[in-house]
Amino acid sequence: MAQPVRAALAGMILDKVAGPDPEAARARIHDVPGERWFAPDRPIRRVHGDASMFAGGLRALLLQSLHPLAMAAVASHSGYRGDPWGRLRRTSHFLAVTTYGPAEDAWAAIEHVQSVHDRVRGRAPDGTPYRANDPHLLRWVHLAEVDSFLAAYQRYGARPLDADERDEYVVDMSRVADALGVPDPPTSVAGLRDALEEYRPELRGTPEARQAARFILVQPPVPLLARPAYGVLTAAAVGLLPWWTRWPLRLPYLPLAEATVVRAAGDALTRTIRWALTPPA
């Protein structure tokens, strides 16, 4: 009885993140011979292969939206409303290829992202020009992702990293950032915290950011049967955000509930997703 349930749940999840043929997608990344950027024992492999990435990815999107120029680029060019699952698949593919794929394919994924960024430019609603390949914006997006993936893994991951491993994860992510053209990516958790703090004066909740948050949290294109589970996932993601992000995005800050009810529900859901995605022995 458990096996059909596991298979059905895994199929539903993988269809969204990997497309209609997830086994073929996995084979193209994991089974192709060649040198990899990261050895099997590197922290980046442990973090990016865990079910906690679902909450971490949502947190990253919400945190990134607080930079007005980054949000303007997303609102005008990403198509997140018209094709949210397509954007999720592209992001998941990039993370998978750079983390697990052959070095040649990782470089190809980097070059593809850079070519897309070269075409993304415009003006924010206040008239400020932006470019997706602006090193300052690239650095913000990188910082938000590293902080979010790490925060989610430490809260909901199968085997949380110790202090040295957390620093090593930041080092691993800096390799991908260097390839993308991110200037001076941090190489320690302390450096990550300092770099995030440097951006605080630039961050604010724009109407576009609040619209994106509402779309992600309240109006997602999720089947009705999956809405309760998705609600737990979004609550877990919001619960991982720093307190100072809540008001700009008009999100609640309920530390007691987040530390108890939300954490327990998020842990249960993450364990269920992990169970579904782990092949039976």
What DSSP designation does 129 have?
Answer: E
Distance CA 131, CA 200 (A): 20
Residue 87, Cβ neighbours under 10 Å: how many? 16
pLDDT at 14: 62
Say which residues have a Cβ less than 8 Å from residue 185's Cβ, sequence separation at least 6. 139, 142, 173, 174, 177, 178
Give CA separation, 187 vs 165, 168, 183, 199, 251, in Å.
12, 8, 12, 17, 31
Beta strand extents in the chain (DSSP E only):
121-123, 129-131
pLDDT at 85: 64
Encoded tokens for 241 = 């955000």
pLDDT at 80: 62
Q: Using 70 as the pLDDT threshold, list the residues of the chain that sit under it.
A: 1-21, 78-86, 280-281
Distance CA 154, CA 231 (A): 21
